[in-house]
Structure 1
Amino acid sequence: MTVIDVFAHVLPPKFLQQMQALNPKILDNFPYMKNDLLTDLDQHRASLPADHQQIISAVNLNPEDFVDSDQAAELCRSANDEMADLVRDNRDIFPAGVAMLPMNNIPEALKIIDDQVANSDALVGVQLFTQALGQPITASEYEPVFAKLASVNAPIWLHPVFDTHKTDNELTFSWEYELTQAMNGIVAASYFRKYPNLKVIVHHAGAMVPYFSQRIKYIQSAENYTDFQKFYVDTAILGNPQALELAVDFFGGDHVLFGTDSPFGIPPVGPTAVIEQAVNDMAISSDQKQAIFSENWQRLRN
């Protein structure tokens, strides 16, 4: 059985060079990105266990945070072309990739979805972050992106970033809180009802939602509770089979996808083995485990 990791990261080398041309020390602000597995294809390939494939998305080196709207669009288009080529040249390990969008240029972002994602043989969706330019991803100016992606039936990969308004950000808990807030914002904005084809894959097993599902049930509306269950989530919580069982219990066995956040989390090659063991240790059927490892992704794509 081929295991498909739906949330693994790369840093396309040409894109990195373009960003370093803007600021040679740009990675000093993101020391975790100084990881050869992100940029060196040979090392990345060698780090993968046999019969494993990855849906690849870029790390959060987002052009809109550094350049104006026109240049951000150009950088995103170039990076997306590079990502698509990476997929096409390495189909045995990368069956698909995920595009990036310039969130300071929404008209161009919508064109990129049409030009580089819809009907693409390599890029199957886009990665959005919980914040963009200091605003929640559910800010009204970003809603056309959700509408467009629903219309072309392309999933969103929802990845956390820090809220820059806060002074106490840290990796253990802050990103999970930001994911939870973004999910709550998507539900509160009724996006799943406005855009019935919308598909959102949430990193880190849906963050706080599975553990506080009864608070959602009794504090929010029945419609909101149902909408929360429409998210897809990955398994990237560095193990913990009991926590993953809660995710399956809340989101449903068909909405949990194997994802690792590789190569991050557990040095030197990422947490694939630990997370795979956690799925195997879950108190669910072998058919449900197989669905998590590959079949749910295949169904999501159809």
Structure 2
Amino acid sequence: MGADGVTLLANNQGVYVGAGGQDELWRPLNDRGAVVFVHPADLPAPAVDGIPPFAADFLLDTTRAAYLLVRNGVVRTYPNIRFVLSHAGGFVPYASRRRAVAIAGDTGRSPLDVLDDFRGFSYDTALSSSPAALPTLLAFARPGHILCGSDWPFAPAAASQYFANGLDSGVDPGVLQSVNRTNAEALFPRLTGTPAPTPARPTPLRLRRTAQRAAARLVFKLVQPGRD
């Protein structure tokens, strides 16, 4: 991805991106304002007979990494890193609220804060521009956080072209221009000849929208199973 970006596999022999003990990795990337592209690998378990890994396992692999990056506070501790999740983030947009509830129950955070963190990722469209997946991604991701992706050279050319056609025919022309070019230029200003901005100094955790967040936490506690 060039001098200002790196690619990380979602897991390496079962150790996931976002797991504890990875600060020595994140600190220099944060200092450089790096773009980190997270791509799936084989799950740390045998594949199920009859289910090719690309059909389900790779999507789960990316989802696991995104979950840990949010659950363990990596995206907030290192705010200068811009994470890009491949394949529309796996299952992240589709089941984002389910994951937000799980993390809120585990950490005591507001589910709305957790959703903010998931929406803060960027997402590529590789093999994901289908009539079901693409509207879900467009509804979930923040504006400017969707990038065109092909999965080349891993996916067959016919598969990449099939999903590229879905992107071209299923998106408003203005949005398509942003997905195909403008959003990537914002992540990589050198592509336009614009000097890259100096990474901001680490900032405190974002101020909570106090009343909204407190209300969300209260409601979540009231509906948790097992509470009187």
TM, length-normalised to structure 1: 0.55
Distance 2:26 2:3 in 1: 17
- 2:46 matches 1:167: yes
Which of 191, 198, 213 is matched with 2:81 structurally?
198
Q: Equivalent residues in 2 for 1:25-40 (5 A)?
A: none
**Aligned partner of 1:215: which letter?**
R
Identity %: 24
- 2:152 matches 1:152: no
Match of 1:140 in 2: 20
Count of residues in Structure 1 that have an aligned counterpart in Structure 2: 178
**Aligned partner of 2:178: which letter?**
A
Distance 2:54 2:92 in 1: 18
Q: Equivalent residues in 2 for 1:92-241 (5 A)?
A: 98=1, 122-164=2-44, 166-168=45-47, 170-219=53-102, 220=104, 221-237=111-127, 239-241=129-131
**Aligned partner of 2:116: which letter?**
T
- Report the Cα offset of residue 208 of structure 1: 0.2
| Gap change, CA 1:142 and 1:293, over 3 Å in 2 | same
Match of 1:277 in 2: 165
Contact kept in structure 2, 1:229 and 1:251, CA below 8 Å = yes
Distance 2:133 2:13 in 1: 32
- Report the Cα offset of residue 299 of structure 1: 1.0
**Aligned partner of 1:251: which letter?**
A
SS in 2 for 1:281: helix
Which of 171, 174, 195 is matched with 1:287 structurally?
174
SS in 1 for 2:43: coil
**Aligned partner of 1:139: which letter?**
A
Distance 1:192 1:228 in 2: 9
| Gap change, CA 1:297 and 1:248, over 3 Å in 2 | same
Match of 2:201 in 1: none
| Gap change, CA 1:274 and 1:139, over 3 Å in 2 | same
- Report the Cα offset of residue 218 of structure 1: 4.3
Which of 238, 247, 250 is matched with 2:140 structurally?
250
**Aligned partner of 1:163: which letter?**
L
- Report the Cα offset of residue 203 of structure 1: 0.7
Contact kept in structure 2, 1:264 and 1:271, CA below 8 Å = no
Contact kept in structure 1, 2:18 and 2:74, CA below 8 Å = no
Contact kept in structure 1, 2:147 and 2:180, CA below 8 Å = yes
Unpaired segments of 5 or more residues in structure 1? 1-97, 99-121
- Report the Cα offset of residue 261 of structure 1: 0.5
Deviations 1:31-60 (A, max 9, x none): xxxxxxxxxxxxxxxxxxxxxxxxxxxxxx
TM, length-normalised to structure 2: 0.71
Contact kept in structure 1, 2:40 and 2:59, CA below 8 Å = yes
RMSD between aligned alpha carbons? 1.9
**Aligned partner of 1:288: which letter?**
V
